A and B are shown apart, each in its own frame.
Chain A
Amino acid sequence: QKEVEQNSGPLSVPEGAIASLNCTYSDRGSQSFFWYRQYSGKSPELIMSIYSNGDKEDGRFTAQLNKASQYVSLLIRDSQPSDSATYLCAVVVTGTASKLTFGTGTRLQVTL
Chain B
Amino acid sequence: GAVVSQHPSRVICKSGTSVKIECRSLDFQATTMFWYRQFPKKSLMLMATSNEGSKATYEQGVEKDKFLINHASLTLSTLTVTSAHPEDSSFYICSAGLAGGRQIKDNNHIRGQFFGPGTRLTVL
Contact = CB atoms under 8 A, between A and B. Distances in A.
B43 A103 contact: yes
Interface residues of A, number: 24
Contacts of A103: 43
Contact of B120 (A41, A44, A97, A100): A41
A21 to B, nearest CB: 14
Contacts of B45: 102
Interface in A44-100: 44-46, 48-49, 51, 58, 88, 92, 96-100
Q: Place the interface of chain B in its size category.
A: 20 to 34
A1 interface: no
Interface residues of chain B: helix, strand, loop or mixed (majority):
strand
Contacts of B101: 92, 96-98
A98 B112 contact: yes
Contact of A48 (B43, B103, B109): B109
B109 A46 contact: yes
Given A97-B100, A99-B49, A46 B111 contact: yes
Given A42-B118, A97-B100, A98-B103, A49 B111 contact: yes
Interface string B80-124: 000000000001010101101101001011111101111010000
A92 B118 contact: no
Contact of A102 (B43, B106, B108, B116): B43
A98 B113 contact: yes
A14 to B, nearest CB: 24
13 contacts: A43-B115, A43-B116, A43-B117, A46-B109, A46-B115, A88-B43, A97-B32, A98-B32, A98-B103, A100-B95, A102-B43, A102-B45, A105-B43
Interface of B: 32, 34, 42-46, 49, 91, 93, 95, 97-98, 100-101, 103, 106, 108-113, 115-118, 120
Q: When A and B form their complex, which 8 residue pairs have the shortest distance between CB atoms, in order from nearest?
A: A98-B112, A97-B101, A98-B101, A49-B109, A43-B118, A104-B43, A102-B43, A102-B44
